[in-house]
A and B are shown apart, each in its own frame.
Chain A
Amino acid sequence: MLSAKGLQQRSSLLQAVRNFFLSRSYLEVDTPVRLPVLIPEAEIIPIQSEDWFLQTSPELCMKRLLARGCSQLFQICHCFRRGERGRLHQEEFTMLEWYRTGWSYVELMAECEEMIRAVALQSAAGEDTGEGISVLWAGKEISLASPWQRMTVEDAFHRYGGVSAAEAADRGMFDEILVESVEPKLGWQRPVFLYDYPISLASLARPKKENPEVAERFELYIGGVELANGFSELTDAALQRQRFSREIDREEKRKANPVMPEKFLQALADLPDCAGIALGLDRLLMIVVGAQTIAEVLPFCEGDL
């Protein structure tokens, strides 16, 4: 549970995020939290609310707004994922999600970098040492100075896991190797973007033109913590339907009646090229204030209620 000072830090962070996006002409939106149908994602389990669900992410609604003609959107909202509890997980957590048309994941990585630097400085928790801003996390000083490291998933798996990422994905070992060997090594000097994920691990991302074996997806790591996930969005409705079917097949074993999000697939026909990113705001606050567990940065966590 947060102290008065902690609540102040959290408020400053939220304010700094809003300032950043508003100064860049983004439109803040608040889409419904309770939805009749979700994105089919086999590994994310929703919490039911009568016959509907609490959102696991605002992605469906935000992309439908882009299809209606919005060009720059951001949202700060609560998302719900059943059974996710741990040092870095709470079933209810705070998501920052933003989209921009005409961009690919390359421009979005650069903006994510600028956003976090601005927020760390403005929320007055990061320190400007003259050489740029740094944060103290898990006993290490991590510099937020530009440029942040960019590493392909394939490179990271070779370097830290001793295997090819594509092979690990084929053998069903991708997540284990990522969690046990790769993630703990990432982002201790400077934040690092992992990019270009095996195509089977990026249901909503666009395949890379030069190499269709990978998708234009990235994740941001600071101090071993996964903070954000972004892509060049897939706008091909037929391909999206195929990928959702595959997820639904995998889901059926564990969930009741997964459903194809038809209205979303219809809207996809009008979705322009765009890029989008979801960032765990509670985790960003952890990094900025040096907290070791997500519970330390929430006004209330499950155990307090």
Chain B
Amino acid sequence: MYSASDLRKGLKVQIDGEPYIIIEFDFSKPGKGQALYRTKMRNMITGNQFTQTYRSNDKFEKPDLEERTMQFLYSQDDEFHFMDTSSYEQIFLTREQLGDNINFLMDNMEVQVLFFGGERPIDITLPIFVNLAVTRADPWVKGDTSGTDTKPVTVETGYKLQVPPFVEEGDKIQIDTRSGDYMTRVKE
């Protein structure tokens, strides 16, 4: 169990049987008054957010969350299939559950899959850096844009991003999956 004084940004708690993550947190207390723990929570399954103020005597269950290393196998329609690398068990997550992660997901990539209540996959964590091949890059024309020294390219997953002018079609580039930004060109 957590008590209200354990609450902080990033903590995961269980409310009404569902896992929530605290995305904003503020402690307030009038000098002579009660401690108030003001939170903004995101439901880790539905993504719904709500704000709620808690008091010192409020208690919270710890959600049963577990991460397992799994390999991305293939996608079919809106289902993305993964396999446990030790037990070979297969599961899938939907396109909606994966959100922007699908921009960086490649066949055979190893990711961390988050399970709630032992069996229910709810989210994945990608490696921080991934290397993807550029499938489309237009030649850069100096003075083309409003003074920015970047140009748009498309990588093999279909994701589009801004890169320096020297990046060409067929190059492999490293991308930070947290921000979606170009990091560097990778020599093979």
Q: Which residues of A contact B (CB under 8 A)?
A: 41, 43-44, 83-89, 174-176, 178-180, 183, 201-203, 219, 226, 229, 254, 278, 280
Whether the pair A84, B33 counts as a contact (CB closer than 8 A) is no
Min distance, Cβ A183 to any Cβ of chain B, angstroms: 8
Whether the pair B30, A84 counts as a contact (CB closer than 8 A) is no
Q: Which residue of A has the minimal Cβ distance to B31?
A: A229
- What are the residues of chain B within 8 A of A88 when measuring CB–CB? 28
CA distance A220 to B155 in the complex (A): 58
Given A86-B26, A87-B26, A176-B53, is A201 in contact with B33 using a C-beta cutoff of 8 Å?
Answer: yes
B187 at the interface (CB under 8 A from A): no
Q: For chain B residues 79-114, which have a beta carbon within 8 Å of chain A?
A: none
Instruction: Identify 28 residue pairs between A and B in the complex whose beta-carbon atoms are under 8 Å apart, listed by A's number.
Output: A41-B32, A43-B29, A43-B34, A44-B32, A83-B5, A83-B35, A83-B56, A85-B27, A86-B27, A86-B28, A86-B29, A87-B26, A87-B27, A89-B27, A89-B29, A174-B33, A175-B30, A175-B33, A175-B36, A176-B36, A178-B33, A179-B30, A201-B33, A202-B32, A203-B32, A229-B31, A229-B32, A280-B31
- What are the residues of chain B within 8 A of A41 when measuring CB–CB? 32
Whether the pair A179, B36 counts as a contact (CB closer than 8 A) is yes
Whether the pair B34, A180 counts as a contact (CB closer than 8 A) is no
Q: Which residue of B has the minimal Cβ distance to A253?
A: B57
Q: Which residue of A has the minimal Cβ distance to B4?
A: A83
**Is chain B's interface secondary structure helix, strand, loop, or mixed overall?**
loop
Q: Which residue of A has the minimal Cβ distance to B3?
A: A83
Q: Which residues of B contact A (CB under 8 A)?
A: 5, 26-36, 38, 53, 56-57
A-B pairs with the 5 shortest C-beta distances?
A: A86-B27, A175-B33, A175-B34, A179-B28, A83-B5
CA distance A278 to B36 in the complex (A): 21
Whether the pair B53, A43 counts as a contact (CB closer than 8 A) is no
- What are the residues of chain B within 8 A of A183 when measuring CB–CB? 30
Min distance, Cβ B61 to any Cβ of chain A, angstroms: 21
Whether the pair B31, A219 counts as a contact (CB closer than 8 A) is yes
Whether the pair A43, B32 counts as a contact (CB closer than 8 A) is yes
Q: Which residue of B has the minimal Cβ distance to A178?
A: B30
- What are the residues of chain B within 8 A of A280 when measuring CB–CB? 31
Min distance, Cβ A63 to any Cβ of chain B, angstroms: 16
Q: Which residue of B has the minimal Cβ distance to A180?
A: B53
- What are the residues of chain A within 8 A of B35 when measuring CB–CB? 43, 83-84
- What are the residues of chain B within 8 A of A89 when measuring CB–CB? 27, 29
Given A175-B36, A179-B36, is A226 in contact with B30 using a C-beta cutoff of 8 Å?
Answer: yes
CA distance A43 to B38 in the complex (A): 17
CA distance A176 to B53 in the complex (A): 8
Scoring A175, A178, A202, A226 by chain B CB atoms within 10 A of each residue's CB, the highest score goes to A175
Q: Which residue of A has the minimal Cβ distance to B8?
A: A85
Min distance, Cβ A232 to any Cβ of chain B, angstroms: 15
Min distance, Cβ A91 to any Cβ of chain B, angstroms: 11
CA distance A229 to B34 in the complex (A): 15
- What are the residues of chain B within 8 A of A202 when measuring CB–CB? 32
- Name the one of B31, B36, B53, B57 contacting A226, with C-beta atoms under 8 angstroms: B31
- Name the one of B26, B29, B32, B38 contacting A84, with C-beta atoms under 8 angstroms: B29
- What are the residues of chain A within 8 A of B36 when measuring CB–CB? 175-176, 179
Q: Which residue of A has the minimal Cβ distance to B33?
A: A175
